[in-house]
Amino acid sequence: MKIKLSLLFLICCSISFSQNFDKKVNDLILNYENEVIELRHWFHENAELSNREFKTAKRIEQELIKIGLNPQTGIAKTGVVAVLKGGKPGPVVALRADIDGLPVKERADLPWASKMTGIYNGEKVPVMHACGHDTHTAILLGVAKVLYEIKDQIPGSVKFIFQPAEEGAPAGEEGGAELMVKEGVLENPKVDAIFGLHIWSQISAGQVNVRPLGIMAAVDEFRIDIEGIQTHGSTPWTGTDPIVTASQIVNSLQTIVSRNMPLTKAAAVVTIGSIHGGVRSNIIPESLYMLGTIRTLDSEMRKTVLKRLEEIVYNVSKANNAKSKITYMVSYPITYNDMDLYNEMLPTLNRVNGEENVNFMNAITGAEDFSFFQEKVPGMYFFIGGAKKGTDPNLAAPHHTPDFYVDDSAMVTGLKSMTSLTLDYLQNNK
């Protein structure tokens, strides 16, 4: 009987400590919420393009030093990394936020709207956080602030990764998560698990969407160059027309998904988004180029799409007496949530957000270079809602558009989720 009573006492003490600790963490989050929102506004107003996030990186460094951390800078061009060592031994958790903006002109009527400009493809362009990376950056700094306050009670270490160039490095440059991994960001100390989030304008604030296994598609961007023979438009038989060749290729590429993909297994998309060639109505040009993207959620289907792409491009070109070349550019693997990690951490998301606010989602054909981290260590990626409560999220402007907007009320969901995932993983695996 004494043994049973002692065990019951220990269990009750453990529950009491856990509840008190949760309350302390929640109070810290609420204390820092306004400061995190102010940081978000600053990052939004000072948006910078991929691999050019100089002001952004400097501000991140300054904030981490103010917290009491010793950040490393210049990682993968403009990335910033800091490690928080807990007061007890244990595993290492990495938390990642992407920090770059996009070449988009902001239309939202905000006092902290971006008026920044940058150079993209050799041209001066407006720059905006049209995908919410400003919120990701501010949330991760907030998590760092909270965890530093309780570092003595943390069993393990936390690595904060502020990653540049998620939207893709400029032409001719390396960047993003792939370069960070290459430079050893998951080593010294060696990371055991990694967590990342993405805010979403068309989900209501307070909601969390997640799924195991493939959550976002692999992406393969490509360029097709077609070379013909220039001639007068009135005598097309005296030349080789790259425009007709390109038209036939575009139509044939659409049969890859409709005729070669087992679509009941997973989704796939092949898109040509840009064609450049010709200067006058009566001149058949010598050459043109097209830009396209492939999205797949299954590795075998991905191989099939790439194989069929090459067969179609080269054979259609040959049939038209034209020459063609395919150049592959940005390529990300599938964003894949480790099943064991998902099963372990889903209860955390349910506890801190309310089970009724955590939703199973279908995989989407957007892509994320967080996948490069997940290739090396178990990772979990999830979405938090950014649409203001009481509004219809279906009417919200989508990502990468001038009217894109996410509400500050979403920040607390990110803070609670990332902080609690970190603490629970470290406690479960100490």
| Cβ proximity of 395 and 200 under 8 Å | no
* Alpha helix segments (H runs only) across 150-223: 176-182
User: How far lies 254's CA from each of 96, 259, 293, 367, in Å?
Assistant: 36, 9, 12, 20
The predicted-structure confidence for 113-128, as pLDDT tens digits, reads as follows 999 999 998 999 999 9
DSSP label of 128: B
| Cβ proximity of 408 and 40 under 8 Å | yes
Mean pLDDT, residues 45-50 taken together: 98
DSSP label of 397: P
**Per-residue confidence at 22, pLDDT binned at 50, 70, 90?**
confident
The predicted-structure confidence for 215-272, as pLDDT tens digits, reads as follows 999 999 999 999 999 999 999 999 999 999 999 999 999 999 999 999 999 999 999 9
- pLDDT at 355 > cutoff 60: yes
What residues does CATH 3.30.70.360 cover in the chain? 218-332
The predicted-structure confidence for 272-287, as pLDDT tens digits, reads as follows 999 999 999 999 999 9
The predicted-structure confidence for 369-415, as pLDDT tens digits, reads as follows 999 999 999 999 999 999 999 999 999 999 999 999 999 999 999 99
> Helices 2-45 & 411-428, crossing angle to 10 degrees?
140
CA-wise closest residue to 347 among 355, 359, 357, 339: 355
Task: Give domain 2-216+342-428's CATH architecture.
Answer: 3-Layer(aba) Sandwich (3.40)
Share the mean pLDDT of the chain: 95
Residue 395, judged by CB atoms within 10 A of its CB (0-12, 13-18, 19+), counts as exposed
pTM of the model: 0.90
- β-pairing, 193-204 vs 88-98, is parallel
Which of 48, 63, 100, 192 is the catalytic position?
A: 100
Q: Which CATH number fits domain 218-332: 3.40.50.2300, 3.40.30.10, 1.10.10.10, 3.30.70.360?
A: 3.30.70.360
| Cβ proximity of 334 and 326 under 8 Å | no
The predicted-structure confidence for 145-176, as pLDDT tens digits, reads as follows 999 999 999 999 999 999 999 999 998 899 99
What residues does CATH 3.40.630.10 cover in the chain? 2-216+342-428
Secondary structure of 324-385 in the HEC alphabet?
A: EEEEEEEEECCEEECHHHHHHHHHHHHHHHCHHHEEECCCECCCCCCHHHHCCCCEEEEEEE
Q: Is 27 a catalytic residue?
A: no
| Cβ proximity of 388 and 407 under 8 Å | yes
Which SS3 state, helix, strand or coil, does residue 420 take? helix
State the sign of the Cα–Cα–Cα–Cα dihedral 111, 112, 118, 121: negative
| Cβ proximity of 268 and 301 under 8 Å | yes
What is the pLDDT, as a whole number, of residue 4?
56
Q: Is 340 a catalytic residue?
A: no
Distance CA 85, CA 150 (A): 11
What is the pLDDT, as a whole number, of residue 274?
96
Mean pLDDT, residues 1-24 taken together: 55
Percent of the chain at pLDDT > 70 equals 95
Q: What are phi and psi of 122, to 5 degrees?
A: 80, 0
What is the pLDDT, as a whole number, of residue 87?
96
| Cβ proximity of 428 and 93 under 8 Å | no
CA angle, residues 131, 207, 82, in degrees to nearest 5: 55
**Per-residue confidence at 21, pLDDT binned at 50, 70, 90?**
confident
User: How far lies 282's CA from each of 228, 231, 248, in Å?
Assistant: 16, 9, 20
